[in-house]
């Protein structure tokens, strides 16, 4: 795994978080959401795609404590049984990078979606390192709290029998789906509940046949209100995503409510949403979801800087894709996306060594790719 973020020793126990204050849960827990309060020990620069580092740091912690689980999380082809958020707090733009402010508290969410991951986190908390070292930006772990209460999939299903009401979902980080090979930045009910159902089928042990349920969703979900904004962001290790943020309010039609089994599952999946997130790339901070209507705050300079990278990657990807198709290049989409990511991040001031670590690529390959990308860009400008 790329060492974009380095960890402290496995044996180091936090002096900042007392054992008595750490959350606990029972061994049968399958779902739990935590929020970490992190304090910046000094003012330091932070690259705009720092969620790659958060992702790497968490997986490195898993590797140290549970190599078998680590191998599954790294190599498994199914849905990932965890997700993380970006940092919440005062990130200040500084040139082409972000700035962590000394003594400021930043909040970071980690959610477990399976019993194995929930058990790992429970054990890990007893030997929690003092510091989350995000490259050259150390963050001291001050407190760990429950954000979404420990529960099981069966309990979600049982609790969904309560009185049926309108529901609101807020997408607090950029959220997107894949549709016919392209990004689809709209919370259409079928896409939303297909996203939740995939996680349900992978981790609940109560598999539901998707086709009939999603047909029922398409026919029966009524959207009453929405407030959405599209956004293009860099996401994951390479490429960009066209997504959305905002909120929707919806309910079930009278005809849909007549199907008691699907209605029960509908409300269980709604309760699952804050744990599992929505859409793809949730392990890199996308798709963070809340079960309430949250008003969208004005776009901040930090978001503008982050969006700038995503927009530049998308622009370069389109350019390189068109060029390679003209010249008959194979593996066009992946190569174009990789070139675009490397060049855009280099333009933002990041070193090739850091980019190579994040992309898990040899430094010499990254160096060659940035040269080829610059040559292709120069050629395009001459035409």
Would you tell me the crossing angle of helices 363-382 and 332-347 to the nearest 10 degrees?
90
The answer to whether residue 14 scores a pLDDT higher than 60 is no
Per residue in 298-315, pLDDT (tens digit) is 666 666 667 777 788 888
Per residue in 65-110, pLDDT (tens digit) is 999 999 989 876 678 999 999 999 988 877 778 889 999 999 999 9
Looking at the structure, tell me whether residues 122 and 170 fall in a common domain: no
Q: What is the largest CA-CA distance in the chain?
A: 66
What whole-number percentage of the chain has pLDDT above 90?
A: 57
pLDDT at 299: 63
pLDDT at 302: 67
The answer to whether residue 382 scores a pLDDT higher than 70 is no
Looking at the structure, tell me whether residues 174 and 146 fall in a common domain: no
Looking at the structure, tell me whether residues 45 and 133 fall in a common domain: yes
Looking at the structure, tell me whether residues 69 and 110 fall in a common domain: yes
Q: How many domains does the chain have?
A: 3
Looking at the structure, tell me whether residues 142 and 187 fall in a common domain: no
pTM of the model: 0.83
* 54-58 mean pLDDT: 94
Looking at the structure, tell me whether residues 351 and 248 fall in a common domain: no
User: What is the token pair recorded at 373?
Assistant: 């990308």
Does a structural domain hold residue 142? yes
Which residues span the domain enclosing 344? 307-382
pLDDT at 19: 64
Per-chain mean pLDDT for the chain: 87
Looking at the structure, tell me whether residues 135 and 49 fall in a common domain: yes
Per residue in 123-169, pLDDT (tens digit) is 999 999 999 988 778 899 999 999 999 999 999 999 865 667 899 99
Does a structural domain hold residue 136? yes
Residue where one domain finishes, among candidates 235, 262, 290? 290
Residue where one domain finishes, among candidates 231, 260, 290? 290
Per residue in 332-369, pLDDT (tens digit) is 678 888 998 889 888 888 888 888 888 888 999 989 99
The answer to whether residue 15 scores a pLDDT higher than 60 is no
Looking at the structure, tell me whether residues 72 and 171 fall in a common domain: no
Looking at the structure, tell me whether residues 24 and 108 fall in a common domain: yes
Per residue in 161-205, pLDDT (tens digit) is 566 789 999 999 999 998 877 788 999 999 999 999 999 999 999
Looking at the structure, tell me whether residues 221 and 277 fall in a common domain: yes
Give me the CATH number covering residue 70. 3.30.70.1890
Of 207 and 311, which is predicted with more confidence? 207
The answer to whether residue 4 scores a pLDDT higher than 50 is no
pLDDT at 11: 36
């Amino acid at each position: 795994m790329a060492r974009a973020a380095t960890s402290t020793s496995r044996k180091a126990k936090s002096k900042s978080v007392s054992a008595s204050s750490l959350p606990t849960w029972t061994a049968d827990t399958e779902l739990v959401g935590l929020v970490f309060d992190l304090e910046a020990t000094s003012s330091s620069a932070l690259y705009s795609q720092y969620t790659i580092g958060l992702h790497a740091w968490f997986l490195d912690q898993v590797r140290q404590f549970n190599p078998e689980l680590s191998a599954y999380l790294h190599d498994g082809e199914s849905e990932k049984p965890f997700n993380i958020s970006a940092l919440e707090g005062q990130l200040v733009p500084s040139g082409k990078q972000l700035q962590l402010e000394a003594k400021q508290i930043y909040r970071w969410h980690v959610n477990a979606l399976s019993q194995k991951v929930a058990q790992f986190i429970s054990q890990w908390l007893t030997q929690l390192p003092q510091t989350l070292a995000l490259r050259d930006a150390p963050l001291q772990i001050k407190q760990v709290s429950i954000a979404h209460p420990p529960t099981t999939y069966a309990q979600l299903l049982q609790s969904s029998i309560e009185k049926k009401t309108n529901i609101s979902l807020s997408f607090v980080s950029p959220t997107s789906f894949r549709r016919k090979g392209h990004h689809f930045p709209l919370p259409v009910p079928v896409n939303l509940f297909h996203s939740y159902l995939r996680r349900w089928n992978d981790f609940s042990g109560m598999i539901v046949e998707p086709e009939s349920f999603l047909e029922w969703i398409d026919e029966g979900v009524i959207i009453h209100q929405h407030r959405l904004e599209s956004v293009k962001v860099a996401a994951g290790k390479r490429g960009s995503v066209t997504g959305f943020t905002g909120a929707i309010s919806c309910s079930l039609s009278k005809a849909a409510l007549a199907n008691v089994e699907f209605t029960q599952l509908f409300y269980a999946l709604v309760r699952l949403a804050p744990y599992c997130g929505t859409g793809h790339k949730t392990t890199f901070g996308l798709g963070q979801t809340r079960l309430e209507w949250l008003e969208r705050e004005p776009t901040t300079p930090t978001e503008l800087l982050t969006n700038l990278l995503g927009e530049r990657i998308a622009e370069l990807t389109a350019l390189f894709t068109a060029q390679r198709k003209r010249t008959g290049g194979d593996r066009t989409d992946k190569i174009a996306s990789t070139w675009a990511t490397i060049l855009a991040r280099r333009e933002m001031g990041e070193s090739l060594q850091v980019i190579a670590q994040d992309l898990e690529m040899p430094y010499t390959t990254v160096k060659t790719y940035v040269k080829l990308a610059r040559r292709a860009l120069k050629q395009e400008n001459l035409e």
